[in-house]
A and B are shown apart, each in its own frame.
Chain A
Amino acid sequence: MRIEEHPILGTYKKGEIVPFTFDGKTLEGCAGEPVAIALKNAGVMVHRYTRKEHKPRGIFCAIGRCTDCVMVVNGKPNVRTCITPLEAGMDVRTQYGVSAEQPDKGERK
């Protein structure tokens, strides 16, 4: 998904490749790029599920305004991944409602 060479912009200045985890699985991204971009590159589309209806959400505005892309990052929920720079070893988790815990089906109403 990365653009190797752009006709106008040439190549992109990127940070070094670092590992991070997504729901416990190790992925790689470029240090300093938004977490959402690293996830996008890895093909991750769903960042969270809504609390009441369990509907998937992903990147929408990509500039930190809409809050659709929030996830649990290093244990902290509601982190806007589109404007949070990726760091080596970050623990990124899908957010369910406002936590990283997937609710039981019976609980979801």
Chain B
Amino acid sequence: MKRYDMIVVGAGPAGLCAAIEAAKCGMHVVVYDENAKPGGQLFKQIHKFFGSKEHKAKIRGFKIGEELLEEADALGVEVVLNAVVIGLFPEKEITVKIEEHVEHVKGDTILIATGASENMVTFPGWTLPGVIGAGAAQTMMNLHGILPGKRVLMLGSGNVGLVVSFQLMQAGCEVVALADAAPRVGGYGVHAAKVARCGVPFYLSHTILCAEGDDHVTGVTIGEVDKNWQVIKGTEKYFEVDTICLAVGLSPMSKLCDMAGCDMEDNPAKAGFVPIVNEYGETSIPGIYAAGDVSGIEEASSAMIEGRIAGIAAAVRMGFLTKEAGDAEFKKQKTALEGLRQGMFAPGMRGKAITQTEEGVAISKNLLEHGFVAEEEIERFPGVTHRKGIHPVIECTQNIPCNPCQDACPKHCIKIGSKITALPAVDPEVSCSGCGMCVASCSGQAIFLVDEDCGDGTAQITMPYEFLPLPQEGEKGIALSRSGEKVCEAQVVGVRSAKAFDHTRLLTIKVAKEYAMKARFFRREDAR
């Protein structure tokens, strides 16, 4: 029987990070993954990640995946693909199906990092071709370069629904609406805002009544629900679509842990049936660990740290790392993990209604109910200031763990401070060179450079732009508001790209000066 110091099940962010940490200490590690390619879902994530430097913030998910694979490879981690782990036994043995045979392998430690699977909802017509999971849409467009459809309705306003809606538009689809039965947007406000300003209407408190079509989806009807989730008659709305995308949450895939006899719990805060683990990720069976979504749904950023912690703990257990060295490393990782678990979207905050930010600023109600901050709300946030000349306007209105903007400004005019969830504030004393680094660094695409009065009756607004075709300098089009409605005519006066911007283009438009604080997106004239 083959024997390893550590067997990792799942080559996603948690599994790879654990393997890297264990291999760094000299452990002989194997990673099994049932897919043909490693990386889990990281290679479908084309947006910039949140967090701070240590969490790989502002790096796009697929780049993080590439980095992790390179690191694992350099450390001699063995990654076996098309390998389905079909059994896990308390003696820390596994059975794995590779092609047509089954191998029996022994691990002195085992990490389960099998991730999660997508939830679904049922409605008449939900089995029709054209109804797909949000993950399927990502797989099609970001891995295989094919459009999931032309006109899409997204169900679900959590981060997955919001991020995938944006990605659908980046790929060239039209997102006709975003619906969610919940009364409030579930994901980050900045993700919602960048979808809303492209003109996607949000229908909160709405659910799908039925999908239309004989052999495939041709349309969808949604309707408003009351407090008891009953559809209110007369509120039905029909959309002609060829695709309905479901982003209604994830559930941990924890069956292997259960099979081995690990103590399990049904924990709503962790979004499902999960193994009970201690602070090192160790289950009730000593030497068997769980990390990432399998032990509670969170972001990939936290999965990576959980993986590192489990890798370190396994190394200490096996004597590859001294207790002291392990403790020091664990403390560092724990601090990083705690940093991510703060703010309005921390795991403990699920389902809680929040009325004000940590700074005591009233939350934007409009953002929660319609996906964008209303004009009369935006001025109260510390990132929104006014002055003569070009300056950043930071429309970041919720406490989320993210701070790349603070380091982006070469003049240090953006302040977040040591608390990573604090709202960024602009220092009015520091002049702005208009370099645009902050605009490109913001994973939420919430920073704009505004010159409110150029002296000739116009204002200029620089915004992040990640769509094709790229508007050209001199091109005329329409400025859209935060809600995606037409504000005024606009002309492109600058298009900047730089390696440091990492594929985010900075588009500068000129509008009449009264629209300086209204215009937040640009639509090309020949677009719909």
A interface residues, Cβ below 8 angstroms from B: 1-3, 5-9, 12, 14, 33-34, 37, 40-41, 45-47, 55-66, 68, 82-83, 85
B140 close to chain A: CB less than 8 A: yes
Which chain A residues border B141 with CB–CB below 8 Å?
A: 3, 6
Which chain A residues border B140 with CB–CB below 8 Å?
A: 37, 40, 59, 62
Contact B146 A60 (CB under 8 A): no
Q: Determine the distance from Cα of A63 to Cα of B34 in the docked complex, in whole angstroms.
A: 10
Which chain B residues border A9 with CB–CB below 8 Å?
A: 46, 62, 142, 145
> Which of B118, B128, B136, B171 has a CB less than 8 Å from the CB of A6?
B171
Which chain A residues border B118 with CB–CB below 8 Å?
A: 61
> Which of A5, A37, A58, A85 has a CB less than 8 Å from the CB of B130?
A58
Q: Determine the distance from Cα of A57 to Cα of B217 in the docked complex, in whole angstroms.
A: 11
Instruction: Name the residue of chain B whose CB is nearest to the CB of A11.
Output: B145
Contact A45 B129 (CB under 8 A): yes
Contact A5 B468 (CB under 8 A): yes
Q: Determine the distance from Cα of A14 to Cα of B146 in the docked complex, in whole angstroms.
A: 11
Instruction: Name the residue of chain A whose CB is nearest to the CB of B503.
Output: A8
Contact B129 A12 (CB under 8 A): no
Q: Say whether, besides A62-B140, A83-B36, A3 and B146 are in contact (CB < 8 Å).
A: yes
Q: Determine the distance from Cα of A35 to Cα of B517 in the docked complex, in whole angstroms.
A: 49
> Which of A5, A41, A66, A68 has a CB less than 8 Å from the CB of B146?
A41
CB distance from B330 to the nearest CB of A (A): 33
* CB within 8 Å of A: which B79-120 residues: 117-118
Contact A65 B139 (CB under 8 A): no
B379 close to chain A: CB less than 8 A: no
> Which of A2, A57, A82 has a CB less than 8 Å from the CB of B145?
A2
B51 close to chain A: CB less than 8 A: no
Which chain A residues border B407 with CB–CB below 8 Å?
A: none
Q: Say whether, besides A45-B215, A58-B216, A60-B133, A40 and B146 are in contact (CB < 8 Å).
A: yes
Q: Determine the distance from Cα of A82 to Cα of B140 in the docked complex, in whole angstroms.
A: 10
Contact B144 A33 (CB under 8 A): yes
Instruction: Name the residue of chain A whose CB is nearest to the CB of B60.
Output: A8
CB distance from B369 to the nearest CB of A (A): 30
CB distance from B431 to the nearest CB of A (A): 32
Contact A59 B132 (CB under 8 A): yes
Q: Say whether, besides A6-B170, A37-B144, A61 and B129 are in contact (CB < 8 Å).
A: no
Contact A6 B145 (CB under 8 A): yes
Q: Determine the distance from Cα of A65 to Cα of B136 in the docked complex, in whole angstroms.
A: 11
Contact B117 A65 (CB under 8 A): yes
Given contacts A12-B145, A61-B135, 17 further A-B contacts (CB under 8 A): A3-B141, A3-B171, A7-B503, A8-B503, A14-B145, A37-B146, A45-B129, A45-B130, A56-B128, A57-B127, A58-B128, A59-B132, A60-B132, A61-B118, A61-B133, A63-B136, A83-B36
Q: Determine the distance from Cα of A83 to Cα of B392 in the docked complex, in whole angstroms.
A: 46
Instruction: Name the residue of chain B whose CB is nearest to the CB of A43.
Output: B216
Q: Determine the distance from Cα of A58 to Cα of B470 in the docked complex, in whole angstroms.
A: 34
What are 11 A-B interface contacts by the 8 Å CB criterion?
A: A3-B145, A3-B172, A6-B145, A7-B503, A9-B142, A60-B136, A61-B118, A62-B132, A62-B133, A66-B133, A85-B36
Contact B215 A8 (CB under 8 A): no
B466 close to chain A: CB less than 8 A: yes
Contact B139 A63 (CB under 8 A): yes
Q: Say whether, besides A6-B171, A7-B466, A46-B216, A57 and B129 are in contact (CB < 8 Å).
A: yes
* CB within 8 Å of A: which B136-188 residues: 136, 139-142, 144-147, 170-172
> Which of A1, A33, A60 has a CB less than 8 Å from the CB of B131?
A60
B35 close to chain A: CB less than 8 A: yes
> Which of B60, B129, B133, B468 has a CB less than 8 Å from the CB of A56?
B129
Q: Determine the distance from Cα of A68 to Cα of B129 in the docked complex, in whole angstroms.
A: 9
Contact A62 B136 (CB under 8 A): yes
CB distance from A2 to the nearest CB of B (A): 6
Contact A2 B146 (CB under 8 A): yes
Q: Determine the distance from Cα of A8 to Cα of B163 in the docked complex, in whole angstroms.
A: 14
Q: Determine the distance from Cα of A66 to Cα of B133 in the docked complex, in whole angstroms.
A: 10
Contact B142 A56 (CB under 8 A): no
Q: Determine the distance from Cα of A37 to Cα of B139 in the docked complex, in whole angstroms.
A: 10
B467 close to chain A: CB less than 8 A: yes
Instruction: Name the residue of chain B whose CB is nearest to the CB of A69.
Output: B129
Which chain B residues border A64 with CB–CB below 8 Å?
A: 34-35
Q: Determine the distance from Cα of A62 to Cα of B131 in the docked complex, in whole angstroms.
A: 12
Q: Say whether, besides A47-B129, A56-B216, A3 and B147 are in contact (CB < 8 Å).
A: yes
* CB within 8 Å of A: which B297-330 residues: none
Q: Say whether, besides A34-B144, A65-B117, A6 and B468 are in contact (CB < 8 Å).
A: yes
Which chain A residues border B127 with CB–CB below 8 Å?
A: 55, 57, 68
Which chain A residues border B36 with CB–CB below 8 Å?
A: 83, 85
Contact B147 A7 (CB under 8 A): no
Which chain B residues border A83 with CB–CB below 8 Å?
A: 35-36
Contact B35 A63 (CB under 8 A): yes
CB distance from A65 to the nearest CB of B (A): 6
Contact B146 A1 (CB under 8 A): yes
Task: Give the one of B35, B118, B145 with max A CB within 10 A.
Answer: B145
Q: Determine the distance from Cα of A63 to Cα of B36 in the docked complex, in whole angstroms.
A: 10
Contact B216 A59 (CB under 8 A): no
Q: Determine the distance from Cα of A40 to Cα of B130 in the docked complex, in whole angstroms.
A: 11
Q: Determine the distance from Cα of A61 to Cα of B135 in the docked complex, in whole angstroms.
A: 7
Which chain B residues border A41 with CB–CB below 8 Å?
A: 146
* CB within 8 Å of A: which B465-496 residues: 466-468, 470
Contact A7 B136 (CB under 8 A): no
Contact A8 B130 (CB under 8 A): no
Which chain A residues border B60 with CB–CB below 8 Å?
A: 8
Task: Give the one of A2, A9, A66, A85 with max B CB within 10 A.
Answer: A9
